[in-house]
Amino acid sequence: MRKWWEAAACVFGTWWIGCVLAFGLVGICQAQPRIQSISSSIQGGAEVVRIDLSEPLITLPTGFVVQMPPRIALDFRGVKSDLAHNSVDLNHGNLRLAQVAQADDRARVVLNLNQATNYRAEIQGRSLLVSLDPVSVAAQSAPGPSRAFAEGGNELALPLRDIDFRRGVENSGRVIVDLVNNQVGVDIRQQGQTLVVEFLRSSLPEGLRRRLDVTDFGTPVQTVTAVQTGDRVRMVIEPKGLWEHSAYQSDNQLVVEVRQQKTSADKLTDGPGYRGEKLSLNFQNIDVRSLLQVIADFTNFNIVTSDTVQGSLTLRLKDVPWDQALDIILQAKSLGMKRSGNVLQIAPKEELAAKEKAELESQAAIRDLEPARTQSFQLNYTKAADIALQLSRAGGGGASGTVGSRGLLSSRGTVIAEPRTNQLFVSDIPSRLNQIQEMIAKLDVPVRQVLIEARIVEATDTFGKSLGVKLGGADLRGIRGGDPGYSIGSGNRLALGANYDAISATTGASGATSLASQMVNLPASGFGGVSPSTFAISLFSSAANRFLNLEISALEADGKGRVVSSPRVVTADQTKALIEQGTEFPYQQATSSGATSIAFRKAVLKLEVTPQITPEGNIILDLDVNKDSPGTAVEGGMSINTKRVKTQVLVENGGTVVIGGIFELTERESENKVPMLGDIPVLGNLFKQKTRQADKQEMLVFITPKMISDRGAVR
C-alpha cells in the first residue's frame, strides 16, 4: 500500500515538472519581437522595404499614408527596436530614409519618400515586406481636373465617417476622426496659431460640416471646424496659449492630440518673460568668469567663456530668475551669448558679431566658387514666362530670353523660359536649384474653378379700381311740336336739358340723342387697355314728353407678374468672367467734323464676376450684375431702362446670398365731381368719379457660387 502512494506521488511530481517546463517554453516562444534591420531592394520591378524582426509577427502592422511630406507610417504593437541608430538611409528609387520611433507599447517605422504612393505589406517568416506602388500608377489613381469637372462630382472621394472630441490625460484635447480605411492621405501642419489637418481625396457629409465649440472641456482646444475644400476635407483646430501637438493613426482612426506646452525651469527665454528657477547672489568685486561659473553650476548648463571676457562685478540679487540674472550680467559687461543645445558661448558682442560675419563671408565665398549646373523644369499648369518672372522678380526679359539674376536666383544664376514646350531652364548653384524646385512645385498647381449662378427675379403686382356715372335728361315737347319747359310770368318759359339742342325744336326729326342729353359725363377709367363695364337705366314719361338717363360704369383690375433671369458662368480662381445677352440699339451722334454717325447702345442681361477662393473654403466675389430693357422710343434712338448692382460679397461654398434688391410702390387716388352737387350726401355719388390705383415692383438678385470639384456642383 505504501509503495502505491509513493508511485502516485512520483507520477504527480513528474506531471507537475512537465507542466512548469511547458509553460516556460510557451513563455520563451512568446518573447517580445524586436526590429533588427531595415533594408530595401527591387523585386519584380517594384521597390520593396524589408524589415527583419527577431520573432515572426502575428498580424500585419497598421499604417497610413501622408501626402505632404510624402511618408508611409507603420505601427508595430508590442514590438521593440534593437537598431543602433533611429535613422536608416535607404536612398533607393522613391525611398529616401527610414526612421524608427519607440513608444511604450509600440514601435513606429516611418518611410520617407520622394513622391507619395500606396503600399502593400505581407509577412514572410520573421520579416515584413512592404511593396511600394510605382509612382506613375499612384499618379493615375489621383482624380484629374476632367474627373472633378464631370457631373456627379469626384467619384474617388471617400467620405469621413465621424469627427469626435474627447478630453485626455493632463487636460489634453483629443480630436478623433473615423476614416473609411487606412489608405486616406493626411497632411498635418501648423498655420499661425491654428492646427490644420487636411484629408486628401475625401468628402465631408453634410452632418459633419459644422463648428464644434469645445471650450467647456477645459483643454487648450477651443474650436474644431471641418469644411469641404475641393477634393479634400480641411479641419481647423484652434487652441489657445502655448501648446504642442502629436498625431497617430490606429487602423481606420486618426487621433490628433493637443496638450499644454510644458516649460522647463532651466530653459532660456526670449524677451522679458523670465521663467528660470530663482536664485540669490551677493558678491563684492567678484570676477565675471567666476560669476558665470556659479550660474553654470546652478543651471547645469555648459558655459564656454571667451578669453576676452574680463573684469569684476558687484551685485546683490535676491529671488531672481537665473536667466534674468544672466541677462543682467551680460548687459552690465556688454557681453553677448550664443546658444547651441545646452552649451552657452559667451563673448563680447563685437567678437560674436565679427565671428558671425566671417562665417557668412566664408559661405558667400563658397557659393561663388561652387560650380553651377543647369536643370530643366516642365510646367503643367502655368506659363513658363510667368514663373521665370516670379523667380527673378525682373520687369524685363522676353518669353524666350534670359531674365536678370534676381529673386531666388544667385548672382550667377540665369533662367530661360521656352514657350513652345512650356519649360524652364535654370542655371545656378545646387543649393539654389533645390529652393527653386520647391518654389516651382508650389507655383505650378492647377487652379480651382468656380461656377457662379445669378438669379434676377422681377415681380410686379398691380391693382386698380374706378367708379363713374353718366347722368342726362331732355324735354321732347319742343321737338314734337309743343312748347318745351314751363311758363314763368308773361311770355317767359324755363326749359331743362343737357344742352340747348336737347330741348330745341330745331334738332331735327330724329329728336334729342343720348349724347345731347348728358348732363354729367364722368365715366370710370380703364386699366391696361380694358374698358369698364356699364349699367344704364332710363326713366321716360310719354305724357310729359320728358326722359331721364342714368349710366353707372365700374372697373376693378388685379394683375401679378414675374420675370426670372438666370445667367451662369464658370471661371478659374481670381480670373474675371463675363457673360451677357441682349440687343444693341442704334442712335445718331455728332462727330468732330459736324457730321453724324451711327453708334450702338446695349440693352443686355450681364454677369461680370471675379471669384477668390479663401483657404477656409469660402468664396469672395467681385460682382457686377446688369439687367437692361428697352424703354420708350425717342428722337434719334431708344431709351434704356437700367437695373444694376455692383458689390463685393463673401459666400460659403454652395451657399446662396441676396446681394441687392429694389422695391417700388406707387399709389394713386383721384376724385372728379360736379361742384356742390358732388358734395351732397349719398346723392352726390351721382355727380362724381372715383379712381384708386396701386402698382408694386420688386427686384431681387441672388448669387450662388460652387467649386466645380465638389459633388453635384455642375448640373
Question: Is pLDDT at 523 greater than 80 in this prediction?
Answer: yes
Q: Is residue 680 packed enough to be buried (19+ CB in 10 Å), middle (13-18) or exposed (0-12)?
A: middle
pLDDT of residue 177: 92
pLDDT of residue 451: 93
pLDDT of residue 267: 53
Crossing angle (nearest 10°) for helices 322-332 and 288-299: 160
At 95, is the pLDDT very low, low, confident or very high (cuts 50, 70, 90)? confident
Under a CB-based contact definition with an 8 Å cutoff, are residues 546 and 517 in contact?
A: no
DSSP secondary structure string for all residues of 382-400: S-HHHHHHHHHT-S---TT
The three-class DSSP label of residue 47 is strand
Residue whose C-alpha is closest to residue 78's, from 107, 38, 51:
107
Question: Is pLDDT at 89 greater than 70 in this prediction?
Answer: yes
Q: How many CB atoms lie within 10 A of CB 477?
A: 17
Question: How does pLDDT run across 354-404, given as a tens digit for each residue?
Answer: 888 888 888 778 777 778 889 999 999 889 998 888 887 644 444 334 444
Question: Distance (Å, rounded) from C-alpha 699 to C-alpha 715?
Answer: 26
Crossing angle (nearest 10°) for helices 384-392 and 430-443: 130
pLDDT of residue 513: 65
Question: Distance (Å, rounded) from C-alpha 102 to C-alpha 31?
Answer: 18
For residue 128, the cross-strand partners are 51, 123
CA dist 147 to 206, 322, 711, Å?
22, 62, 11
Question: Is pLDDT at 171 greater than 90 in this prediction?
Answer: no
Q: Which of 14-28, 171-185, 265-279 has the lowest mean pLDDT?
A: 14-28
573: cell is 480662381
290: cell is 567666476
pLDDT of residue 398: 40
At 619, is the pLDDT very low, low, confident or very high (cuts 50, 70, 90)? very high
Question: Is pLDDT at 16 greater than 50 in this prediction?
Answer: no
Q: How many CB atoms lie within 10 A of CB 318?
A: 9
Query: Which backbone phi and psi does 414 adopt, to 5 degrees?
Result: -135, 155
677: cell is 352737387
DSSP secondary structure string for all residues of 477-512: TTTTTS--SEE-SSS-EE---SSHHHH-TTS-TT--
For 416-431, letters b (16+ CB in 10 Å) and e give: bbbeeebebbbbbbee
Q: Mean pLDDT score of the chain, rounded to an integer?
A: 80
Question: Distance (Å, rounded) from C-alpha 132 to C-alpha 93?
Answer: 10
pLDDT of residue 481: 64
Question: Distance (Å, rounded) from C-alpha 376 to C-alpha 225?
Answer: 41
Question: Distance (Å, rounded) from C-alpha 239 to C-alpha 220?
Answer: 5
In degrees, to the nearest 5, what angle opens at C-alpha 73 toward C-alphas 67 and 77?
Answer: 155
pLDDT of residue 648: 94
- The residue to which cell 536667466 is assigned: 323
Q: How many CB atoms lie within 10 A of CB 677?
A: 15
Under a CB-based contact definition with an 8 Å cutoff, are residues 190 and 208 in contact?
A: no
Question: Is pLDDT at 712 greater than 80 in this prediction?
Answer: no
Mean pLDDT of 314-334: 86
Question: Is pLDDT at 277 greater than 90 in this prediction?
Answer: no
Under a CB-based contact definition with an 8 Å cutoff, are residues 436 and 388 in contact?
A: no
At 543, is the pLDDT very low, low, confident or very high (cuts 50, 70, 90)? low
Higher pLDDT, 96 or 419: 419
What's the gap between Cα 359 and its chain centre? 45
The three-class DSSP label of residue 138 is helix
- The residue to which cell 527665454 is assigned: 269
Under a CB-based contact definition with an 8 Å cutoff, are residues 661 and 695 in contact?
A: no
Q: Which of 107-111, 113-117, 643-647 has the lowest mean pLDDT?
A: 113-117
CA dist 236 to 192, 215, 233, 304, 401, Å?
11, 15, 10, 44, 44
Question: Distance (Å, rounded) from C-alpha 495 to C-alpha 510?
Answer: 19
Mean pLDDT of 517-528: 82
pLDDT of residue 174: 92
What single DSSP character describes residue 160? P
Residue whose C-alpha is closest to residue 552's, from 472, 671, 668:
472
Under a CB-based contact definition with an 8 Å cutoff, are residues 667 and 694 in contact?
A: yes
Question: How does pLDDT run across 441-497, given as a tens digit for each residue?
Answer: 888 888 889 999 999 998 999 888 999 988 887 777 766 666 677 777 766 777 777
Question: Distance (Å, rounded) from C-alpha 413 to C-alpha 425?
Answer: 11
- The residue to which cell 501622408 is assigned: 66
For residue 202, the cross-strand partners are 158
Question: Is pLDDT at 405 greater than 80 in this prediction?
Answer: no
Q: Which residues contact 331 (CB under 8 A, 6 or more apart)?
A: none
55: cell is 520573432
Backbone dihedral region for residue 682 (phi beyond 0: left; psi -120 to 50: alpha; all else: beta) = left
19: cell is 507542466
Question: Distance (Å, rounded) from C-alpha 518 to C-alpha 509?
Answer: 19
Mean pLDDT of 189-218: 87
Going by their DSSP bridges, the two strands 619-634 and 637-651 should be labelled as antiparallel
pLDDT of residue 60: 86
For residue 99, the cross-strand partners are 87, 110
pLDDT of residue 511: 55
pLDDT of residue 541: 67
At 273, is the pLDDT very low, low, confident or very high (cuts 50, 70, 90)? low
Question: How does pLDDT run across 661-678, given as a tens digit for each residue?
Answer: 889 999 999 988 888 888
Q: What is the pTM of this model?
A: 0.51
pLDDT of residue 587: 79
Higher pLDDT, 211 or 368: 211
Question: How does pLDDT run across 556-603, given as a tens digit for each residue?
Answer: 888 888 888 899 999 999 899 999 998 888 877 777 777 778 888 888
* Element housing 362 (H / E): helix 349-369
Under a CB-based contact definition with an 8 Å cutoff, are residues 475 and 503 in contact?
A: yes
pLDDT of residue 29: 44
Strand locations in 379-422, DSSP E? 402-403, 414-418
Q: Which residues contact 148 (CB under 8 A, 6 or more apart)?
A: 154, 230, 231, 708, 709
Integer Rg of the chain from CA: 47
